[in-house]
Amino acid sequence: MFSFSNISSYHSELQAASFTCVEAVEFYLENIRKQQHLNAFVHVFEAESLERAQQLDCRRGNKEATGRLHGVVIAIKDVICYKDHTVTAASGILKGFKSLFNATVVQRLLDEDAIIIGICNCDEFAMGSTNENSVYGATKNALNETKVPGGSSGGSAVAVQAGMCMVSLGSDTGGSVRQPADFCGIIGLKPSYGTISRHGLIAYASSFDQIGIFGKNVDDLRHILSVINGMDDHDSTVAQFPARVFPSSPAKKTIRFASFQNAIGHSSLDPEIAEGIKDIAKKLVQAGHKLNNIDFGLIDFIVPTYYILSTAEASSNLSRYDGVRYGYRSTSGNKDLATFYKKSRSEGFGKEVKRRIMLGTFVLSEGYYDAYFTKAQQVRNILKQQTEKIFSANDIIIMPTVPTTAFTQGAAAGDPVSIYLADIYTVYANLTGIPAISVPLFKHSNGMPFGLQLLSKRFDEAILLDCATMLMQNYSSN
Ligand code: GLN
């Protein structure tokens, strides 16, 4: 009988013929079928993944070389292009659109023998924190179906949470991997800006977007990150060093942790979450690590800066959806070209995406550009400088991932600003380009999980992964 604990032991068991890739895929397909009501997947590749599993079993049986992700069952968010498969960014404007090429990450997964089992639900164009802004409807949190799984990569998080795949990919522009990981009680990693190619990732805000990974244990994230990172001729923003590997290694004996007093003391933070983080900080000091409490006065500028810059970039990126070249086209009453554009975009995009396009267009408009866009760029620069300074004397910043546990379904409707404000702890890493991971250490008295967020200096994913392993081993209360 198939069961999964991590990729390394899965590989040993395949070699020992304890089970086959076909059995693994059958197991996940069955779990997907049984939990269809969670709405985590928008497409499931049943026949195709079984066929690929069969081929892999055959190749292994013939003693052919096996890839680093041999038979690993992965799901991907509906913003990542998989050749000849539908990709829609959960938007009506891309209804029925098929990818013409593989995203670099997809190509790298396939080259190492991974099996892509399906495409996961998300917020439209990755804009949101609840997975409720999807043309396919909301995804539910498997731990409590009255709660959201978080967003925007909610489907990818639930796919891992509820055992519908081994690992999954999402995208993180302002927290969309870490926040759903926090709400679902799993691990979510956003690597540094420039660690993973975004070629074939549908753009939301290009100076923030990064592909991220969900899993239930740190070693699985190491496997995936080792395969998908590294330079790519198709994306000039990827760091120009060769692909790195991230083998398991023990955490440093003495880690210099930093904590922002203004983050832990923030009025929006649930007191129980604050206590949980303070308690871990205390235990880390008792274990011989250092803790530096920093006064970080910029905390309340972070969310406005993010929403000005990300919507500005989104308004530009999404201008390509004009009804001419892609997806949805309005066919009635188009008396002139302007009306045609207006109708196609008004009918094709959902409410939240339209709100952001309008906000982004406003902050870029003549007369407001300096007051909003330029100002926000200045704040971003100051944030980057301060962050560099912090990491000259500290290894890891600890923070909550989200100020509360998972929101109740429907609670976001009508109050987008309160939902934006809940991004306070995640958007910092995207504004500064540093890597961050949410580690599921805690359980709230309301029954929902929450995580501890770790952040390190740019391109030091290794220390995050080592520290996350150490924390999971020593301090997990789940
Ligand atoms: N909550 C953030 C937003 O709505 C997250 C977006 C993301 O990371 N894709 O913009």
Per-residue pLDDT of 387-402, as tens digits, reads 999 999 999 999 999 9
Ligand 1 pocket mutation, candidates 352, 419, 423, criterion most atoms within 8 A of CB: 423
The residue nearest atom 6 of ligand 1, judged by CA position, is 174
CA distance 191 to 429: 9
152 is catalytic: yes
Joined together, the tokens standing for residue 36 give 């269809």
pLDDT (average), residues 450-460:
98
| Residue labelled with tokens 């993010």 | 306
pLDDT grade for 325, boundaries at 50, 70 and 90: confident
Joined together, the tokens standing for residue 368 give 């407001």
Q: Is the CB of 176 under 6 A from ligand 1?
A: yes
C-alpha 130 – ligand 1 centre gap (Å): 10
Residue 239 near residue 459 (C-beta atoms within 8 A)? yes
Measured from the CA of 310, which atom of ligand 1 is nearest? 10
* Candidates 134, 153, 156, 176; catalytic one: 176
Q: Which DSSP category does 126 fall into?
A: G
CA distance 10 to 31: 18
pLDDT digits (tens, 9 = 90+) for 98-145: 999 999 999 999 999 999 999 999 999 999 999 999 999 999 999 999
Assign 380 to helix, strand or coil. helix
> pLDDT averaged over the chain?
97
Q: How far is CA 272 from CA 169, 253, 402, 404, in A?
A: 30, 29, 12, 9
So what's the pLDDT on residue 332?
82
Q: Is the CB of 180 under 6 A from ligand 1?
A: no
CA distance 231 to 229: 7
pLDDT (average), residues 410-438:
94
So what's the pLDDT on residue 202?
98
pLDDT for residue 423 is more than 90: yes
Please spell the DSSP secondary structure of 301-362, one letter per residue: GHHHHHHHHHHHHHHHHGGG-SSSSSS----SS--SHHHHHHHHHHHHS-HHHHHHHHHHHH
Please spell the DSSP secondary structure of 73-90, one letter per residue: EEEEETTB--TTSB--TT
pLDDT digits (tens, 9 = 90+) for 404-414: 999 999 988 87
Residue 208: which of 102, 360, 320 has the closest Cα?
360
CA distance 94 to 386: 40
Q: Is the CB of 174 under 6 A from ligand 1?
A: yes
Instruction: Give the ranges where 349-460 is alpha helix by DSSP (H).
Output: 351-364, 369, 375-393, 416-421, 427-432
C-alpha 321 – ligand 1 centre gap (Å): 20
C-alpha 175 – ligand 1 centre gap (Å): 6
pLDDT (average), residues 84-94:
98
pLDDT (average), residues 30-45:
98
pLDDT (average), residues 268-291:
97
Question: Sheet harboring 396-400: ordered strands across?
Answer: 41-44, 115-120, 73-77, 167-171, 211-215, 187-190, 436-443, 449-455, 396-400, 256-260, 290-294
Measured from the CA of 423, which atom of ligand 1 is nearest? 1
Residues paired with 436 in a beta bridge: 190, 455
Q: How many beta carbons lie within 10 A of that of residue 374, not counting itself?
A: 12
CA distance 439 to 472: 7
Least confident of 116-125, 150-159, 182-191, 238-247: 238-247
* Candidates 77, 140, 147, 190; catalytic one: 77
Residues 260-272, buried b or exposed e (16+ Cβ, 10 A)?
beebbebeebbeb
The beta-strand segments (E) located in 165-279 are: 167-171, 187-190, 211-215, 256-260
Q: What are phi and psi of 54, to 5 degrees?
A: -60, -45
Residues paired with 169 in a beta bridge: 76, 213
CA distance 306 to 143: 30
pLDDT grade for 452, boundaries at 50, 70 and 90: very high
Residue 16 near residue 22 (C-beta atoms within 8 A)? no
Residue 124 near residue 134 (C-beta atoms within 8 A)? yes
Q: Is the CB of 129 under 6 A from ligand 1?
A: yes
Ligand 1 pocket mutation, candidates 79, 120, 130, 173, criterion most atoms within 8 A of CB: 173
So what's the pLDDT on residue 478?
64
pLDDT (average), residues 433-460:
98
C-alpha 46 – ligand 1 centre gap (Å): 30
Ligand 1 pocket mutation, candidates 80, 133, 152, criterion most atoms within 8 A of CB: 152
Residues paired with 259 in a beta bridge: 293, 398
344 is catalytic: no
Cα diameter, the chain: 72
So what's the pLDDT on residue 326?
80
pLDDT for residue 334 is more than 90: no
pLDDT (average), residues 256-262:
97
CA distance 141 to 462: 30
The residue nearest atom 4 of ligand 1, judged by CA position, is 128
77 is catalytic: yes
So what's the pLDDT on residue 220?
98
Joined together, the tokens standing for residue 299 give 């905390």
Q: How many beta carbons lie within 10 A of that of residue 38, not counting itself?
A: 23
pLDDT (average), residues 326-345:
90
pLDDT for residue 11 is more than 70: yes
Measured from the CA of 430, which atom of ligand 1 is nearest? 8
- Per the omega criterion (within 30 degrees of 0), is the bond before 152 cis? yes
Higher model confidence: residue 250 or residue 220? 220
**Beta strands at 167-171 and 73-77: parallel, antiparallel or unpaired:** parallel
Q: How many beta carbons lie within 10 A of that of residue 141, not counting itself?
A: 29
- What type of residue sits at position 455? L
So what's the pLDDT on residue 274?
98
pLDDT (average), residues 298-326:
96
| pTM given for the model | 0.98
pLDDT (average), residues 333-354:
93
pLDDT for residue 198 is more than 70: yes
Q: Is the CB of 436 under 6 A from ligand 1?
A: no
pLDDT for residue 477 is more than 90: no
pLDDT for residue 19 is more than 80: yes
pLDDT grade for 28, boundaries at 50, 70 and 90: very high
pLDDT (average), residues 184-209:
98
Residue 397 near residue 436 (C-beta atoms within 8 A)? no
CA distance 83 to 85: 5
pLDDT grade for 252, boundaries at 50, 70 and 90: confident
pLDDT for residue 438 is more than 80: yes
* Candidates 49, 91, 134, 152; catalytic one: 152
Residue 298: which of 266, 256, 257 has the closest Cα?
266
Radius of gyration of the chain (CA): 22
| Residue labelled with tokens 């409720």 | 132
So what's the pLDDT on residue 204?
98
So what's the pLDDT on residue 412?
81
Joined together, the tokens standing for residue 428 give 């910092």
